[in-house]
Structure 1
Amino acid sequence: MSRLLCPLLFVWLGFSSAIWAHEIRPAYLQIDQISPSNYDVLWKVPSANDAVPDIEPQFDSTLSLQEQGGPRLLAGFVVFRYRLSGDSGLLGTRVQISNLALTTIDVLVNLNLLDGSKQSFLLHPTDNAIEVPRVPGKWTVVQTYIRLGIEHILLGIDHLLFVLALIILVSGWGNIIKTVTAFTVAHSITLSLAALGHAHVPGPPVEATIALSIMFLALELLRKIEGKATLTSRKPWLVAFTFGLLHGLGFAGALAEIGLPQTEIPLALACFNIGVELGQVAFVAVMLLLIGVLRRRTNWSLALQRLPAYAIGSVSAFWVVERTLAFAL
């Protein structure tokens, strides 16, 4: 299977390019209730090359929206703050994002109420409005968090690169299924523990170590190409499970930024996890299909077989340095 590394890498790059064609950074609308008739509103829009999409939240005519200070630039985003007021409140009213259909941007809406309850919605260019329910329905939670889970894994290039390296390293359908299952079980455990507050590890070190796990697999690829026995080839499920625990903490960090609706925490957590698994299964299925198609190509030289391993190792090494500096300095 190592002979397939080079063509598969080019397919991977094409897949990544298609993903990045969609704006992977969602806009973010945070609404915090501060009194029965007043809300603090944070509106964060991704920007590129000083260009800011002409999109903005629009609320019911019974509500008044006033800007609080000017816009601020923050790490690739433009941030606006508003005060939303209205005697009837926000529940039961319509929230819409103007001009969203003209973009490729998703919008995550988080609503925090005085009673401690939370509601989350995901708006899209083809579905740019939501009526805020007075009592959040379970089906809304299911749809929102499954989609968030799928989008997170499919846009998480580092997680997918780890999975890709794993399935290339492992030989045999049985071993592949065991390995992917071990990875799934492991990251489900730590995702659940962290999301429920039973485990906490700072995000930046976790992200740096995830990059290190990818670099480890790149080295394993090189050893396998050279005909050496590797830990991953001998016990792939053990490597997948061990690093899966780590990747689960990375998923939990993303989920912490999104937030969980307080009245439906178990359901939202389960649906996010299901979404992650659905995205992962889809990715693995596509990669295995491509491996099957490319299996006839056996004329790759040793140098060409090594090239993808060096590419994966170089990218992951860059991430290790970048992410380590992010919390070390």
Structure 2
Amino acid sequence: MLALLLGLIAAPAWADELRPAVIELTERSPGEFTLEWKLPVSAGPRGTALPLAEPVLPEGCTMASEPVVRAAPLDLLGSARLRCEGDLSGQGFGLSELLGNADALARFVPLDRPVQTFRLTADSPTAMIAAAPDRWQVARDYFAIGTEHILLGWDHLLFVIALVLLVRRGWAVAGAATAFTLAHSITLVATTLGYTGLPSRPVEALIALSIVFLAVEVIRAIRDPEHITLTRRAPWLVAFAFGLLHGFGFAGALAEIGLPQGEIASALVAFNIGVEAGQLLVIAALVALLAALRRAAPLLETPAIRAATYAIGMTGSFWLVERVIG
């Protein structure tokens, strides 16, 4: 529980961070390509912005024009025209390096073949262009991206953790988690396919507010166990309502990295399953931790939950203020 508490205190550094680098190689005409990339930047000396990587070209390609690079608030955007000779199958392209746990997406868009999408990692920052795309490659890559998003996107994860701390009982936790899953799946799919959508800034602020709301409910349950609020009577209903909101957040993160044309359905399903896998992993770990604490040191359970809940509430409050006035 102490490790969990320390992790929650450090959470403002992560928030809902999902800004992978993206590099795309598109064939415009036989032998003529456009290379476009988006690279996250980090702070350099005296506040300058430094890119975290540089594009790597296939061996058969050369620059046909000077790269055009411009700075966005948190990214470096670039494009260039390439001239390539012969078949690019078996040649690598991607980024020079990826630091730490960062990942990236690489896309190869030929004229007469399906799009190929690759997930780049620190261990493998370049991808090998295949003669024919692997049908399962997109599913594997977007599953991993979805899992990483829920494990590193702390605002969604803190809501789930607070929900577990409020409910605690096994089947009730499972029901509330299922309602949350169904709800954010609905808005994730609807937003991604263009049927609905909300501006990202109010959505992110309301997600932070949902964390604060659940933290308050946990503290109220500790202070007055006899007073049963609607949240405690029907946690699945509250989880479903807030899950709809969190789905817009997932959709916003997915919009930043994009979906491969021709594989939208498989990528969307794999991303959503990855999110659920990460979420269930954390729920199972937390339920097991609470059960172990209840058996080993029952007198410490309530103080530990109270301390963790205050950490969650303070973190959510910080994000709320930051997203409203920032």
Note the 1:1-329 alignment, pairs <5 A.
7=2, 9-10=4-5, 12-13=7-8, 25-36=19-30, 37-50=32-45, 52=50, 55-65=53-63, 67-69=66-68, 72-88=70-86, 93-100=91-98, 103-111=100-108, 118-227=115-224, 228-295=227-294, 296-300=296-300, 306-326=306-326
Moved over 6 A (4+): 114-117, 301-304
Q: In structure 2, list runs of 5 or more residues that go unmatched.
A: none
Structure 1 residue 306: deviation in Å?
Answer: 4.2
Cross-structure match for 1:3: none
Evaluate the alpha carbon distance shift between residue 304 and residue 288 of structure 1 in structure 2; reply closer, same or farther with a 3 A threshold.
closer
Evaluate the alpha carbon distance shift between residue 99 and residue 303 of structure 1 in structure 2; reply closer, same or farther with a 3 A threshold.
closer
Conserved 8 A contact 1:42-1:82: no
Evaluate the alpha carbon distance shift between residue 114 and residue 300 of structure 1 in structure 2; reply closer, same or farther with a 3 A threshold.
same
Render the CA deviation track for 1:245-280: whole Å, top value 9, x for unaligned.
111111111111121122122111111111111111
Evaluate the alpha carbon distance shift between residue 305 and residue 287 of structure 1 in structure 2; reply closer, same or farther with a 3 A threshold.
closer
- Give the aligned CA root-mean-square deviation in angstroms: 3.1
Percent identity for Structure 1 against Structure 2: 43
Evaluate the alpha carbon distance shift between residue 271 and residue 11 of structure 1 in structure 2; reply closer, same or farther with a 3 A threshold.
same
- Residues of 2 paired with 1:209 and 1:118: CA distance? 36
Range 249-258 or range 304-313, more displaced = 304-313
Structure 1 residue 93: deviation in Å?
Answer: 3.4
Conserved 8 A contact 2:8-2:312: no
- Residues of 2 paired with 1:304 and 1:160: CA distance? 18
Q: Which amino acid aligns with 1:38?
A: F
Q: Please report the TM-score for the alignment, with normalisation by the length of structure 2.
A: 0.84
Conserved 8 A contact 1:43-1:81: no
Evaluate the alpha carbon distance shift between residue 203 and residue 34 of structure 1 in structure 2; reply closer, same or farther with a 3 A threshold.
farther
Q: Please report the TM-score for the alignment, with normalisation by the length of structure 1.
A: 0.83
Q: Which amino acid aligns with 1:62?
A: G
Q: Which amino acid aligns with 1:312?
A: I
Structure 1 residue 90: deviation in Å?
Answer: 5.3
- Residues of 2 paired with 1:224 and 1:48: CA distance? 43
Structure 1 residue 240: deviation in Å?
Answer: 0.7
- Residues of 1 paired with 2:303 and 2:288: CA distance? 25
- Residues of 1 paired with 2:88 and 2:249: CA distance? 33
Conserved 8 A contact 2:290-2:301: no
Task: Give secondary structure in 2 for the equivalent of 1:316.
Answer: helix
Q: Which amino acid aligns with 2:129?
A: V
